[in-house]
């Protein structure tokens, strides 16, 4: 590995006076965290995946050990053999503070979970209290450490192969972390696991590691994209044939593909669409009506590739129909019109029952009994065994949807980098100025609606076979609101942001069913906090970062330097 390029030693601000008790307290906290994790945490074996065995840590205890080891690395970077190697360019003190707070909250959540799922805190064994004491000591020790101003890790450069290795290790960690989290059937275990992962992300942000990885990802976009698809491809092989988790994964991919189409309309062109779920529904209904279901209303059953094109073109045609008369308005008026279109579509599907209109959709009964998708001799409903691992029907649909996601991402990225994409961005920023500069505003708006609807129709044709049935109740306004929330949460106009937002919005409600009616309340509070502290989204584009943080001069300078560096 080549040497890391940092600022000269004279440019590093001198360290403030250090409290002598800080480092010993932090080290003692790490030791107690590890020792406590090898002891029993709960008297009841049925709680949190059996944490009652001494000497054999359970899943949550292993996460605690991982957190303690990472904290030890940061401690050694503050004062120890790693001080001269990574200390000058890694903000270890801030990372330790984040670990101290995060691990303390993590242990408190574990105590609350044990007390809630059993007869109270009397079922908490000493090991949990020892680990809690270690987390508190780590927190106190980290608070006593000085916070010098160090070099910017985002500008650090290492050998190209080392950056690629960092991408591979990160993606592998994401794969195994996701597999472990989805494998947790207990809601409390899932929440505690998410708390740990959130702590690690905050630590990466505070130390500058996340910023550095962002720069690495920019320099190796193709490698990152390939690694992401490899991780996604191997995900079904980590589920041990679990249909429950793979069912959630397929729903996430359908939701993400649809959100990516809406991202063209909202994220690039800036057109607020509150009825977008209708385009997904139109593709699903076309596939259902042309299927070999006993309840299908059209006596024509073409091959699935033709069905896909028909469903997508039908959705695009609806986009043109609704867009032509309504895109003359904008802002709140456009939102109201698209909201009305979504409700009109749902009610129309109710009325096409042979009584109030032509017999096409069977009205509120929908079209059930849709057969499994079959392309050539491959039946997606049959399980298959690869490398000794059984892959069920949901895994088959997952791989097909993965190809769809790849196609949607390719379309979005090409359009975003094209002249059309620049025209959409100009319309989003200032429609009047764009029109004055010769941009065909109305034509580009119509094109955005048509392409976004086309992509949603593609996803809908696969969704009909995967769900085995379609009905009007599946395409209500709440689904459109969730699609829009995924884009805002993840980051408008970005690919990774929308995929992340769609995953969070589809995954969390499914895994938090334990909280029944309160899960949507918790989810709403999460969105409110997100909009308060990071309104630009989890993975924001540079433009939106500046829009929401105009007063941040340092951010503007940093983004400008990034653009100059990429131009070179």
Domain spans in the chain, listed from the N-terminal domain onward: 15-236, 241-521
Counting Cα atoms < 13 Å in the Cβ hemisphere of 203 gives 24
CA dist 202 and 165 (Å) reads 22
20-24, 205-209, 283-287, 298-302, range with greatest mean pLDDT? 283-287
Lowest mean pLDDT among 149-163, 277-291, 476-490: 149-163
CA dist 219 and 214 (Å) reads 9
Asked if pLDDT for residue 375 goes beyond 70, the answer is: yes
What CA–CA distances, in Å, run from 10 to 5, 6, 13, 391? 14, 11, 8, 59
Question: Quick one: pLDDT at residue 33?
Answer: 93
Is residue 261 classed exposed, middle or buried when 0-12, 13-18 and 19+ CB atoms within 10 A define those classes? Answer: buried
CA dist 440 and 419 (Å) reads 12
Q: What is the pLDDT of residues 202-248, one digit of tens each?
A: 888 888 788 788 778 778 888 888 888 888 888 888 887 678 888 88
Angle at 270 between CA 267 and CA 275, to 5 degrees: 85
Give the confidence band of 555 by pLDDT, cuts at 50, 70, 90. low
Question: Quick one: pLDDT at residue 397?
Answer: 92
CA-closest candidate to residue 277, choices 247, 309, 319, 327: 319
Contact 279, 456 (CB under 8 A): yes
Give the confidence band of 134 by pLDDT, cuts at 50, 70, 90. very high
* Polymer length of the chain: 568
3-class secondary structure, 294? coil
Between residues 288 and 390, the one the model is more confident about:
288
Given the structure tokens 């689904």, which residue do they identify?
479
Question: Quick one: pLDDT at residue 314?
Answer: 94
Which tokens in the block code for residue 429? 């920023």
Between residues 568 and 419, the one the model is more confident about:
419
Please report, rounded to a whole number, the percentage of residues in the chain having pLDDT higher than 70. 86
How many other C-beta atoms can be found within 10 angstroms of the C-beta atom of residue 399? 16
Which tokens in the block code for residue 166? 């960092």
Lowest mean pLDDT among 52-56, 134-138, 361-365: 52-56
CA dist 207 and 187 (Å) reads 30
Q: What is the pTM of this model?
A: 0.82
What does the DSSP 8-state code read for residue 124?
B
Furthest CA-CA distance within the chain: 84
Angle at 434 between CA 431 and CA 439, to 5 degrees: 120
CA dist 190 and 66 (Å) reads 17
CA dist 178 and 183 (Å) reads 8
Question: Quick one: pLDDT at residue 9?
Answer: 40
Asked if pLDDT for residue 24 goes beyond 50, the answer is: yes
Question: Quick one: pLDDT at residue 28?
Answer: 93
Class of domain 241-521: mainly alpha
Question: Quick one: pLDDT at residue 248?
Answer: 87
Strands 374-375 and 389-391: unpaired
**Average pLDDT rounded to a whole number, residues 73-79:** 83
């Amino acid at each position: 590995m080549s040497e890391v390029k940092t600022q000269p030693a004279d440019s590093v601000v001198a360290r403030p006076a250090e409290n002598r008790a800080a480092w010993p307290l932090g080290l003692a906290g790490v030791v107690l965290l590890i020792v406590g994790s090898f002891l029993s945490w709960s008297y009841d074996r049925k709680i949190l995946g059996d944490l009652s065995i001494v000497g054999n840590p359970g899943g949550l205890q292993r996460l605690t050990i991982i957190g303690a080891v990472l904290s030890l690395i940061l401690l050694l970077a503050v004062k120890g053999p790693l001080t001269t190697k990574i200390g000058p360019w890694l903000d270890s003190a801030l990372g330790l503070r984040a670990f101290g707070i995060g691990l303390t909250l993590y242990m408190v959540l574990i105590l609350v979970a044990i007390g809630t799922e059993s007869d109270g805190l009397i079922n908490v064994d000493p090991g949990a209290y020892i680990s809690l004491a270690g987390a508190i000591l780590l927190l106190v020790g980290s608070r006593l450490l000085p916070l010098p101003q160090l070099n910017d890790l985002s500008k650090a450069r290492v050998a190209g192969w080392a950056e690629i290795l960092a991408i591979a290790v990160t993606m592998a960690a994401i794969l195994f972390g996701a597999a472990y989290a989805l494998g947790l059937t207990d809601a409390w275990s899932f929440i505690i696991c998410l708390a740990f992962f959130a702590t690690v992300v905050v630590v990466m942000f505070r130390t500058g590691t996340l910023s550095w990885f962002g720069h690495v990802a920019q320099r190796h976009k193709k490698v990152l994209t390939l690694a992401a698809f490899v991780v996604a491809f191997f995900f079904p092989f980590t589920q041990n044939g679990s249909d429950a988790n793979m069912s959630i994964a397929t729903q996430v991919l359908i939701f993400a593909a649809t959100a990516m189409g809406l991202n063209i309309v909202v994220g690039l062109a800036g057109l607020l669409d509150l009825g977008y779920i209708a385009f997904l529904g139109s593709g699903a209904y076309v596939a259902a009506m042309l299927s070999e279901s006993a309840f299908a209303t059209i006596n024509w059953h073409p091959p699935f590739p033709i069905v896909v094109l028909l469903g997508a073109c039908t959705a695009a045609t609806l986009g043109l129909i609704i867009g032509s008369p309504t895109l003359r308005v904008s802002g709140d008026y456009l939102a109201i019109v698209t909201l009305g279109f979504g409700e009109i579509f749902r009610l129309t599907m109710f009325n096409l029952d042979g009584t109030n209109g032509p017999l096409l959709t069977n009205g509120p009964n929908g079209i059930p009994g849709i057969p499994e998708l079959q392309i050539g001799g491959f039946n997606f409903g049959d399980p298959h065994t690869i490398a000794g691992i059984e892959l069920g029907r949901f895994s088959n649909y997952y791989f097909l949807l993965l190809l769809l996601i790849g196609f949607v991402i390719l379309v979005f990225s090409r359009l975003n980098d094209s002249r059309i994409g620049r025209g959409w961005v100009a319309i989003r920023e200032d429609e009047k100025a764009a029109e004055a500069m010769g941009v065909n505003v109305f034509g580009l708006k119509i094109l955005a609606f048509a392409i976004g609807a086309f992509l949603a129709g593609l996803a809908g044709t696969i969704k009909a076979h995967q769900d085995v049935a379609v009905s009007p109740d599946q395409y209500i306004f709440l689904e459109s609101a969730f699609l829009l929330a995924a884009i805002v949460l993840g980051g408008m106009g970005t690919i990774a942001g929308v995929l992340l937002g769609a995953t969070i919005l589809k995954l969390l409600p499914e895994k938090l069913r334990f909280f029944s009616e309160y899960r949507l309340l918790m989810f709403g509070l999460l969105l409110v906090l997100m909009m308060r502290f990071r309104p630009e989204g989890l993975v924001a584009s540079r433009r939106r970062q500046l829009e929401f943080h105009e007063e941040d001069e340092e951010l503007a300078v940093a983004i400008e330097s990034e653009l100059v560096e990429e131009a070179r």
